[in-house]
A and B are shown apart, each in its own frame.
Chain A
Amino acid sequence: MRSLAKLLVGDRRNLAVVALAVLLAGALVASGHAALAALLFPLALLAGVGWLAAG
């Protein structure tokens, strides 16, 4: 079960990057700033990729 979760989700850092980016985008969409979400969501994910690659 644990290996299946790891297979789908990756490690904690990977999960944290995606969760934070999705939360940010979700909050922006919910507050009526969908256009800003379309801009910041990919930027947040790319920043996360940079953090994961550097770690």
Chain B
Amino acid sequence: MTAGSIFLASFLAAGVEWVEAFTIVLAVALGIGWRRAGGAALAALALLAALTAASGGVLGLWLDTVWLQAAIGALLLLFGVRWLAKAVARLAGRLPRHDEEVELARALSALERSERHAAWLVAFQGVLLEGLEVWLLVVALGFNEHRTLAAAAGALAALVVVAAAGALARAPLRRVPENAIKFTVGAMITAFGSFWTLEAMGGAGAWPWGEWSLPALAAFYLLGGLAVAAGLRRRAAATVEP
């Protein structure tokens, strides 16, 4: 393979992984702000770079990502299920909805500090795991063909393109109401958590549509959460009526 085709293959394959990482950062940023979520992403990338440098570039050759995937998947589930359940309860009227104007203004207050720390960790872990997958791609493509530089350049170019596209999407997303944000974040994080946890247990073929199962899972949790909220509202109304 030529350097150009290695660059392109790495660009496309890494692009998919970076989009997944960015989706997590995006979801978390909607809850805790872009600065904190971006900081978590940068911290993960810095750790990845440090690990790569410390291991002399052989990080991916000894690291078993399955255990990491299982651990991160389980943590994402614990976080995503909690957020989704809270958002469903608010939508069903079982928890008071936050005043969205006030909530936005006090987004950095101490009230939800623990959730913000957990959200930071989610973004950090998501980028770290996806970054490791990109690292493995670069190793696989570059080492096999002795074109590591082209493979690494393709992966870095994909990161720049995905980050630039994400920066353009920031402004319109700021106008989304708070509970809708928590609902979406919970559904997306739960989707990533389920995907990685089952994949860690059952191998790459665990999901019938491969990586395309991720958007299907997110849609399932979003629509399912709406249905659960509607069911809870109906049940509450039936209890109130004589």
Residues on A facing B (Cβ under 8 Å): 3, 6-10, 14-15, 17-18, 21-22, 25-26, 29, 34-35, 37-38, 41-42, 45-46, 48-50, 52-54
Bound complex: CA A41 to CA B228 (Å): 17
Bound complex: CA A9 to CA B33 (Å): 22
Name the interface residues of B22-37: CB closer than 8 Å to any CB of A.
none
Contact check: which of A7, A26, A29, A45 meets B117 at CB < 8 Å? A7
Is residue B231 within 8 Å, beta carbon to beta carbon, of the partner chain?
A: yes
Q: What would be 15 A-B contacts, judged by CB atoms less than 8 Å apart?
A: A8-B78, A9-B78, A10-B78, A14-B85, A38-B208, A41-B194, A46-B225, A48-B85, A49-B84, A49-B85, A49-B88, A49-B190, A50-B231, A52-B89, A53-B92
Q: Which of A17, A18, A22 has the most CB of B within 10 A?
A: A18
User: What sequence of 0s and 1s flags, for each residue 72-83 of chain B, a beta carbon within 8 Å of any chain A beta carbon?
Assistant: 001101110110
Contact of A42 with B221 in the complex, beta carbons under 8 Å: yes
Chain A residue, CB-CB nearest to B224: A46
Q: A35-B208, A38-B208 are in contact. Are A22 and B74 (CB under 8 A)?
A: yes
CB distance from B201 to the nearest CB of A (A): 5
Q: Which residues of A contact B172 (CB under 8 A)?
A: none
Contact of A50 with B88 in the complex, beta carbons under 8 Å: yes
Q: Which residues of A contact B78 (CB under 8 A)?
A: 8-10, 14-15, 18
Contact of A54 with B82 in the complex, beta carbons under 8 Å: no
Name the interface residues of B114-139: CB closer than 8 Å to any CB of A.
114, 117-118, 121
Q: Which residues of B contact A54 (CB under 8 A)?
A: 89, 94, 232
Is residue B202 within 8 Å, beta carbon to beta carbon, of the partner chain?
A: yes
CB distance from B78 to the nearest CB of A (A): 5
Is residue B107 within 8 Å, beta carbon to beta carbon, of the partner chain?
A: no
Chain B residue, CB-CB nearest to A51: B85
Bound complex: CA A9 to CA B118 (Å): 9
Contact check: which of A3, A7, A41, A50 meets B198 at CB < 8 Å? A41
Contact of A22 with B84 in the complex, beta carbons under 8 Å: no
Q: Which residues of B contact A46 (CB under 8 A)?
A: 220-221, 224-225, 228
